[in-house]
């Protein structure tokens, strides 16, 4: 979805969900909890400067600060936790932390862990694929866990494009470029 639409749409969805939960009775909230997931959280609630989707920034902050009491949770997903707003991160009560090799990210995460667990950040750079630290309210005990491996047909189509594989191919033919341009023009009208 184009960036011009993603921010306002995310803001609208977040606000509608919050209002929905606000107008529920306590019993309805308990029976109908919602988890709002923000993939690439640094775009919505950056630690410095304005959000790429500034329309969504305030809505996400509100869910982080007030959502739990109304039955709406927030999951922040980012490969760059040091770029996510500290105020919002401080509202997180459970953490699933995969391998972090950047020392700024490791130090940033350590600030939000209880003092007794801050030493666990030393092992973040040594975690292997599918390993993570699981800490917080949702974890009975702080744990180093292994995430189940999924069969190929169950994996999301989220792998990065291989530039090396693409560059060894012949350039795209003019006919293919025209086909792509026609598809693109069809979405612009």
pLDDT, one tens digit per residue, over 97-112 is 888 888 888 888 888 7
Contact 108, 114 (CB under 8 A): no
Cut 0.85: pTM above it: no
| Region of poorest pLDDT, from 95-99, 113-117, 175-179 | 113-117
Look over the chain and give the mean of its residue pLDDT values, rounded to a whole number. 86
Q: Where are the domains of the chain?
A: 3-160
CATH, domain range 3-160? 3.40.50.300
| SS3 labels along the chain | CCHHHHHHHHHHHHHHHHHHHHCCCHHHHHHCCEEEEEECHHHHCECCCCCCCHHHHHHHHHHHHHHHHHCEEEEEECCCHHHECHHHHCCCCEEEECCCCCHHHHHHHHHHCCHHHHHHHHHHHHCCCCEEEEEECCCCCCEEEECCCCCHHHCCCCCCCCHHHHHCCCCCCHHHHHHHHHHHHHHHC
Residue holding tokens 């598809």? 183
pLDDT, one tens digit per residue, over 36-52 is 999 888 888 888 777 67
pLDDT, one tens digit per residue, over 4-62 is 788 889 899 999 999 999 999 999 999 999 999 998 888 888 887 776 778 888 999 99
Please count the residues of the chain: 189
Contact 98, 131 (CB under 8 A): yes
Quote the CA–CA distance of 107 and 32 in Å, as a whole number: 36
């Amino acid at each position: 979805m184009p960036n011009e639409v993603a921010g306002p749409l995310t803001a609208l969805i977040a606000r509608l969900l919050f209002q929905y939960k606000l107008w529920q009775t306590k019993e309805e909230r308990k029976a109908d909890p919602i988890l709002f997931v923000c993939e690439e959280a640094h775009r919505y609630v950056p630690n410095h400067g304005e959000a790429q989707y500034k329309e969504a920034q305030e809505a996400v902050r509100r869910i982080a600060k007030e959502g739990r009491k109304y039955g709406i949770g927030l999951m922040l997903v980012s490969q760059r936790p040091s770029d996510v707003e500290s105020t919002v991160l401080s509202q997180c009560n459970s953490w699933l932390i995969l391998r972090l090799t950047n020392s700024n990210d490791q130090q940033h995460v350590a600030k939000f862990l209880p003092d007794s667990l801050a030493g666990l950040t030393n092992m973040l750079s040594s975690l292997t694929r599918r390993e993570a630290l699981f800490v917080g309210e949702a974890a009975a005990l702080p744990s180093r866990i292994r995430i189940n491996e999924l069969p190929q047909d169950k994996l999301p189509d989220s792998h990065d494009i291989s530039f090396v594989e693409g560059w060894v191919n012949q350039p795209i033919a003019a006919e293919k470029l025209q086909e792509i341009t026609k598809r693109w023009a069809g979405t612009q009208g």
